[in-house]
Structures are given as C-alpha cells and as structure tokens.
Amino acid sequence: MASDDTGEGGGAGIRKIGVIGAGQMGNGIAHVSALAGYSVVLNDIGQDRLDNALATIEKNMSRQVSRGTVAENESAAALGRISTSIDMAALADADLVIESAVENEQIKIDIFEALCPLLKPGALIASNTSSISITRLAATTDRPEKFVGMHFMNPVPMMELVEVIRGIATDRDTYARVTAVARRLGKSPASSEDFPAFIVNRILLPMINEAVYTLYEGVGNVEAIDTALRLGARHPMGPLQLADFIGLDTCLAVMQVLYEGLADSKYRPCPLLVKYVDAGWVGRKSGRGFYDYSSEPPTPTR
C-alpha cells in the first residue's frame, strides 16, 4: 500500500500528516496514513492515551499481517513512520492535520485556535467530525479556504468510505488534494455537501434513534429489535448493538446536531438515549450501554 508518490495521485505536496486525538478514530487514521507511506505525528493531551493508541495500532497491524492483507515488512515500516507528542508544536511542519477529537464543537474550536498559529502557511486542516458544520468550524481558523471535512468510518482500517465535505469557503485545490489523500489511504471518497450530519449519519442515526424509540415504547426488547434488523433487513449488526459500538454519546451528539440544524421534530433524540448517556452507559467503551459487556456474550440491559 505504501507509495512515495506525492503527485496528484497522492495529494500533491502532502508528505507529513498530523492527527489530533488518539482515540479509536484517531489511532485508526494514524494507522492507515502510516501504511500509505505518510510520515505521521499523533497528538493527544496525555502520554497514556498515546501509548494506548500505539499499542492498538501495533495489535491491529499484527492482525492484518496474520491475515495476509499486509506484509510484515510493510507493517514494520509503517510503525516506524509514526511518532507521538503531547505538544501540539510537533505538528508545525505537517502538510495536513486531521482533527479527530471528541464530537464537541467547542472542544474542536479550542483545538483549531491553538493549532493555527503553529502551522506553516500552506498546511491544510481536515476535521473528522461526523456531523458538525465544516463551514462554521473553518470560520474559526486563519485558513477557511484550506479547511475541509474528512469523515472516516469506524473501524478506520477496515471501512472503505471517507466522506469529503466542502465548507462554503473550501477551495478546489484543498478539496482535490484531500480527496487524493483519501484515495492513497485505500479509501473510496464520497463527496458531501455541508449539511448537518452529511450523508451517512443523516440516514444512519435517525434509524438508530428510531430503534431506541421502539425500545422506549415497549414495541420490542433489545434482543428482539436487533434480531429483527439483522435477519429482516440483512444488517450485519442490530441498530442497538451498532449504537453501543459507535458510542451512545456520539449518537446523541449527532441527533442533537440534526435536531437543532434542521429544526424538524423527526430528529428529536429519544429520551431513553438521553437517559443512557446521562447514566454514563455509553456503550462498549464504558462497558455498558444497551448491552452489558462484563460477560461474554454481552447481555441486554433492557
């Protein structure tokens, strides 16, 4: 997968990628970027988070090697291309910085305000937001024309799609170069206009929210709802199981963006989803959501 191409096919002039946020999305973005031959700097606020991210990347690459999808020497070379830092100044010479922090607009704005003074003038910025306005985020930076949305799917190393979202100020060159980077990462880019939740989550999250309403109203329990969609619609996992995988806090954040951005009652977050998030039951990452993950197989909580 690695290539030395820095021409149009690989995103002209982009050799070094910074990734802000070392969670499950950020470490996945660092993973595929390093495998594609880019030099990668992974940044987060805590060294423990960075250490955990590196361990996850190493484990996931080892799995790819064992499956024969990545050669052992490719994996070793990719791991050698990744450095980590808790200091954002380490991103100063990056050609493209991909922000992958928590889905909270103010936190993202704070990151961009700290980042922009450190970057070289030609550096591009992409946000991995799953729902927040690219136009609005770009307007908080010193380079709105060089700002774009780059929404990866989870888990990043396995999922083929990247939504590329133009803000109103995003110039053609930025869009073309970031689209080329997505292709070099082995992804299929889908162009989306800058409307709340873009394409995938505009369709997916209301379905999940409706599944939570179906549970809330007692139409079916967790097991019945997930079984119905797996077997009746050929979905690989049920909507409540998928919500746990995504994170119920992220699901709620996207629904709130849809509800506030489109002012349509059909996007109102289900009160039961709000209650689970308030309880800290946000899915797999917390050990409990619509399923309890303290046992194997996980047991429904409702």
Domains of the chain as residue ranges with CATH: 8-192 (3.40.50.720), 202-293 (1.10.1040.10)
Q: Residues 75, 151, 192, 209: which is the catalytic one?
A: 151
pLDDT tens-digit map of 20-39 = 999 999 999 999 999 999 99
In the chain, DSSP assigns E strands to 16-20, 39-43, 82-85, 96-99, 124-127, 147-152, 161-166, 188-192, 291-292, 299-300
Q: How confident is the model at residue 97 (pLDDT cuts 50, 70, 90)?
A: very high
Task: Point out the catalytic residue in the list 43, 75, 128, 130.
Answer: 130
pTM of the model: 0.88
Q: Work out whether the CA dihedral 275, 109, 261, 153 comes out positive or negative.
A: negative
Residues 134, 112: contact at Cβ < 8 Å? no
- Residue 130 designated active-site: yes
Whether 217 sits among the annotated catalytic residues: the reply is: no
Catalytic residue, from 74, 99, 103, 163: name it: 163
- 7 pLDDT more than 60: no
| Cβ–Cβ < 8 Å for 242, 290 | no
Q: Pull the structure tokens for residue 115.
A: 């980042």
pLDDT of 6 > 90? The answer is no
Q: Could you give the percent of the chain with pLDDT greater than 70?
A: 96
Is pLDDT above 60 for 92? yes
If you search the block for the tokens 């997930």, which residue do you land on? 226
32: amino acid identity, one letter: V
pLDDT band of 12, cuts 50, 70, 90: confident
Q: What are phi and psi of 161, to 5 degrees?
A: -90, 145
Express each pLDDT in 141-193 by its tens digit.
999 999 999 999 999 999 999 999 999 999 999 999 999 999 999 999 999 99
Q: Is the pLDDT of residue 210 over 60?
A: yes
Concerning whether 201 is annotated as a catalytic residue, the answer is yes
What is the average per-residue pLDDT within 81-105? 97
Tens digits of residue pLDDT in 270-298: 999 999 999 999 999 999 999 999 999 99
Would you call 24 exposed, middle or buried from its count of C-beta atoms within 10 A (0-12, 13-18, 19+)?
Answer: middle
pLDDT of residue 11: 65
